[in-house]
Structure 1
Amino acid sequence: MRISRDKLNKLAHTIADTLAETDECEFLEDRNTIRQEARKILEKLLMEETRIDQAAKLKIQSQRKIILEGSQEWDILYRKYYNEEVKKLGI
């Protein structure tokens, strides 16, 4: 899933603000550094999600018979293969 730069920054700001308001959380770095790290982590997760999505779709395309995207069979296989890829990451 592609998220615009502005939305990604907004999410990172929200994460940093929420952490700052949490009593159990103490920053060892300034809030901007925390925001930047949150943004990097979000970008990495989104890139990984894109890779997983592509791997699941490639597995479906490699089937002997043609499976049309949007069909019930395609949806079932997509969820199955997507979950397999996620499990490989240990999530």
Structure 2
Amino acid sequence: MTMHPSKVAIVGAGLIGRAWAMIFARAGWQVALFDPAPGIAAQAEGLCAQGLTDLAEQGLCEDPAGAARRIQAVGSRPKRCRTPRWCRRTALSGWR
């Protein structure tokens, strides 16, 4: 049986995290974007939307607005978060 996951949690909303978020969102996945610094994940939503628009202008993204809607900031990592597993569980539980 082949699994086809449709959700991914990305810890880190820097350049590489945003790039992965855009790649997954373009492929139809729902993306939870998590960052340890307050406010960074929320800012990354707009940066990803702009990046997807830039890709569309080059013919590399058919639906930039749809892909951008699939990326959701789920907050920052509290200081008590010490493991990626906790972050993943917390990020995925924050989805609507």
Which one has the bigger strand percentage?
2
What TM-score does the superposition give when structure 1 sets the normalisation length? 0.32
What TM-score does the superposition give when structure 2 sets the normalisation length? 0.31
Q: More relative contact order in 1 or in 2 (CA 8 Å, sep 6+)?
A: 2
